[in-house]
Amino acid sequence: MNQPLLSVAGLDIARSDDPTRRVVRNLSFDIARGEILAVVGESGCGKTVTSLALTGLLPDGLAIAAGTLAFDGAPLRPAELRGRRIGMIFQDPMSALNPMFTIGDQITEVLRAHLGLRRAAARARALELLALVRLPDPARIIDTYPTRLSGGQRQRVVIAIAIACNPDLVIADEPTTALDPTIQAQIMALLAGLRETLGIAIMLITHNLGLVAQAADRVMVMYAGRKVEEAPVEPLFARPLHPYTRRLLAATPHPGHAQSRLAEIPGLVPSVFDLPPGCPFAPRCDVAEARCHGSEPALASVYAGHFAACHFVAP
Amino acid sequence: MIPLLAIEDLHCRFDTPGGPLHAVRGVSLEVAAGETLGLVGESGSGKTTLAKSIVGLVRPTAGRILLEGQDLATADRTARFAARRAVQFVFQDPFASLNPRRRVAQLIREPLDVHRIGTAAERDARVAWLMARVGLRPEWGHRLPHEFSGGQRQRIGIARALSLTPRLIVCDEPVSALDVSIQAQVINLLADLQRELGIAYLVISHDLALVETFAHRIAVMYLGRIVEIGPAAEVWRQPHHPFTRALIDAVPVPDPAIARLKRPILEGDPPSPLGTPPGCAFAPRCPLAVARCHTEPPLLRPVGEKRIASCHLVN
């Protein structure tokens, strides 16, 4: 059995002043080398906070309250790995780049800080990276400012920075949500290509099930701070086990299928600080019965590699 | 029969420091009573400017906007004021579009006050009916917008738009700021209101999958012009314009078997509305372009029944 690249076990993320107020609860997952793991869920499900914990960027007031994080067999030290072995791509490429510095400055800064490259070597590597992310005319773009670039071009620059130090893992948090669909397709193809050619593992955080179907090897579905389902991509779409996953799929437009009406999920996503007793999805679930409101189901292995936290699927 | 809304050769041009920006370049289209027309295109295609000109937020530089056959530009003040009641707007961002210091009942009642509809008691009754109709509890009327979730705020926006019993609601990206499960709720609400009240919608969106599910007809814009219009299911099944084809290919379908098929990816960025290519605006990115496409702009022509497209390669 190969050792996973990233291993998270029993992670709790809670308010620093009150460890019982948890936003992520008992979360465990692995990412293998070269794998694309999609993390799916709605606002407040804990997917972004988890990625911030992995990179040591949790906002003030939140902290890791429990759990072990390992990277490549050793305890994960976010500050040492971030930018070097773990690259990051954020949703909004405009706010991820500093408008006051040239593209070249922002890429070479990373290379000089993390790899100790000298000015000329860093510039040569920056040109290579701009070509690698398929920006036209790297020699011109390297000396321009972010505002001169389109949204798609800026996201390519952000990707160039994320992969500058040959990372093992890239965390991409909604990397295409701010972009046009045509540009989204370009960026997703670029990310898939980087995985193929460089063997980079990707943690793809998204709410878009279409992107998951297109790009992911495995999928983790989160709801109210917990993992509620995990499976390789084909079984997740072919036979989703958790009612939340099923309802989420039904609420997603399937173009070309002449749906007269989208299946909606009634109610609202609950606040993680005010969870109902029992299964957090029970109040919105169409199959919930008494025990669902009484006790929270544990995550159970249902098929090989396919887990779900639901009373109805527990073996 | 006179269409509810008819736009004839509409142009919107702005003077900018970078030169004249021709956002809308001769658009003609019609919306029938009770119909949903989906308007799709990339950033900078002019779709939002077109929408704003319909509701009077942007003054067109040429062309006509006819509401039930009446030209809004030449109509007198009283007629324009009346027309404003018939056409309402739902904005993309339910945070930014509601005054944070007004109570929800006041926000929904405001259009009734402005247009002096009914007595005070009748207005209150109408507000209570509207809130109930969009799925908000009337006793929440004294709350402020920040006390609501994104989906509930969008319901407030819809109630406000409905207050004057409009014939047409222009919706600019009505659900793109919302979670997937909440998107379906809002789309279904809009569909129910249409069935019940016969309202027509002009829905602007970058999400072709959603538009295909929700709209009766689709209009595709590219660089200020309509390049294709047709019934939604037919356009999806057999697009005539290569840009429409590219938009469809870029949609990540939530089914791994389909989503992983290799599809051509449209290269390049959306063109700047500051420039004017000599031939077909799409030719520089078009995989099928021939010499003629770079010199001669194609005209929008009928292609079969109920469909039009502007492409030299469509016979």
Residues in contact with A155: Cβ distance below 8 Å, sequence separation at least 6, in sequence order: A89, A93, A175, A176, A179, A183, A187
Quick check: B213 and A208 CB within 8 A? no
Quick check: A255 and B251 CB within 8 A? yes
Residue B222's DSSP bridge partners are: B225
Quick check: B184 and A233 CB within 8 A? no
Confidence band of B216 (pLDDT split at 50, 70, 90): very high
Region A35-44: mean pLDDT is: 93
d(CA B92, CA A131): 36
d(CA A134, CA A190): 8
Q: What is the pLDDT of residue A263?
A: 87
Distance from CA of B113 to the nearest CA of A (A): 32
Average pLDDT, chain A: 93
Task: Indicate whether A1 pLDDT > 60.
Answer: no
pLDDT > 70 in chain A, percent = 98
Distance from CA of A212 to the nearest CA of B (A): 8
Task: Indicate whether B210 pLDDT > 70.
Answer: yes
Confidence band of B269 (pLDDT split at 50, 70, 90): confident
Least-confidence region, from A191-200, A204-213, B267-276, B301-310? B267-276
Q: Residue holding tokens 């939140």? A: A62
Residues in contact with A76: Cβ distance below 8 Å, sequence separation at least 6, in sequence order: A6, A54, A69, A70
Q: What is the pLDDT of residue A25?
A: 96
pLDDT > 90 in chain B, percent = 71
Residue A172's DSSP bridge partners are: A89, A204
Region A287-302: mean pLDDT is: 95
Of B32, B37, B28, B31, the C-alpha closest to B8 is: B28
Inter-residue contact A45 to A222 (CB < 8 Å) = yes
Confidence band of B89 (pLDDT split at 50, 70, 90): very high
B181 vs A42, A153, A211: nearest CB: A42
Q: What is the pLDDT of residue A315?
A: 62
d(CA A271, CA A41): 14
Region B227-244: mean pLDDT is: 96
| Total count of residues recorded for chain B | 315
Three-state secondary structure string covering chain B: CCCCEEEEEEEEEEEECCEEEEEEEEEEEEECCCCEEEEECCCCCCHHHHHHHHHCCCCCCEEEEEECCEECCCCCHHHHHHHHHHEEEECCCCCCCCCCCCCHHHHHHHHHHHCCCCCHHHHHHHHHHHHHHCCCCHHHHHCCHHHCCHHHHHHHHHHHHHCCCCCEEEEECCCCCCCHHHHHHHHHHHHHHHHHHCCEEEEEECCHHHHHHHCCEEEEEECCEEEEEEEHHHHHHCCCCHHHHHHHHCCCCCCHHHHCCCCCCCCCCCCCCCCCCCCCCCHHHCCCCCHHHHCCCCCCEECCCCCEECCCCCC
d(CA B86, CA B200): 10
Residue A41 dihedral angles phi and psi, to the nearest 5°:
165, 170
Of B180 and A56, the structure prediction assigns the larger pLDDT to: A56
Tell me if residue A75 falls in helix, strand or coil: strand
Q: What is the DSSP letter of A284?
A: G
Among B183, B205, B210, B213, pick the best mutation site for testing chain A contact (most A Cβ within 10 A). Answer: B213
| Cα B65 to Cα B14, B39, B115, B202, B229, distances in angstroms | 18, 17, 22, 14, 18
B43 vs A180, A248, A249: nearest CB: A180
Confidence band of B74 (pLDDT split at 50, 70, 90): confident
Region B51-78: mean pLDDT is: 90
Q: What is the pLDDT of residue A259?
A: 66
A237 vs B182, B256, B267: nearest CB: B256
Region A109-120: mean pLDDT is: 94
Among A48, A206, A214, A219, pick the best mutation site for testing chain B contact (most B Cβ within 10 A). Answer: A214
Q: Which residue of B has its CA nearest to A192?
A: B260
Q: Which residue of A has its CA nearest to B148?
A: A268
Q: Which residue of A has its CA nearest to B251?
A: A181
Q: What is the pLDDT of residue B108?
A: 95
Angle, CA B42 vertex, CA B35 and CA B188 arms, to 5°: 35
Largest CA distance in chain B: 68
Of A104, A40, A16, the C-alpha closest to A236 is: A40
Angle, CA A230 vertex, CA A224 and CA A231 arms, to 5°: 155
Q: What is the pLDDT of residue B161?
A: 94
Average pLDDT, chain B: 92
Domain ranges across chain B: 5-309
User: Any CB–CB contact under 8 A between A178 and chain B?
Assistant: no
Inter-residue contact A215 to A188 (CB < 8 Å) = yes
Quick check: A261 and B191 CB within 8 A? yes
ipTM: 0.89
d(CA B226, CA B24): 9
Distance from CA of B184 to the nearest CA of A (A): 5
Chain A, window 130-159: residues with a beta carbon less than 8 angstroms from a chain B beta carbon: 150-153
The two beta strands, B308-309 and A218-223, are unpaired
Quick check: A189 and B265 CB within 8 A? yes
d(CA B119, CA B285): 58
What number of other Cβ atoms are within 10 A of residue A226's Cβ? Answer: 23
Q: Residue holding tokens 């040239």? A: A102
Quick check: A255 and B236 CB within 8 A? yes
Give B-chain residues touching A264 at CB under 8 angstroms.
Answer: 181, 184-185, 188
CATH assignment of B5-309, given 3.30.70.2190, 3.40.50.300, 3.30.70.1350, 3.40.605.10?
A: 3.40.50.300
Q: What is the pTM of this model?
A: 0.91
Instruction: Express each pLDDT in B127-148 by its tens digit.
Output: 999 999 999 988 899 999 999 9
Instruction: Express each pLDDT in A216-267 by its tens digit.
Output: 999 999 999 999 999 999 999 999 999 999 999 999 998 887 667 888 898 8
- What is the torsion angle, in degrees rounded to the nearest 10, for the CA atoms of residue B188, residue B192, residue B197 and residue B199? 30
Q: Name the token pair of B85.
A: 């009641």
Q: Residue holding tokens 């780049």? A: A97
Region A188-204: mean pLDDT is: 95
User: Any CB–CB contact under 8 A between A198 and chain B?
Assistant: no
Region A259-284: mean pLDDT is: 87
Q: Name the token pair of A200.
A: 């980079």
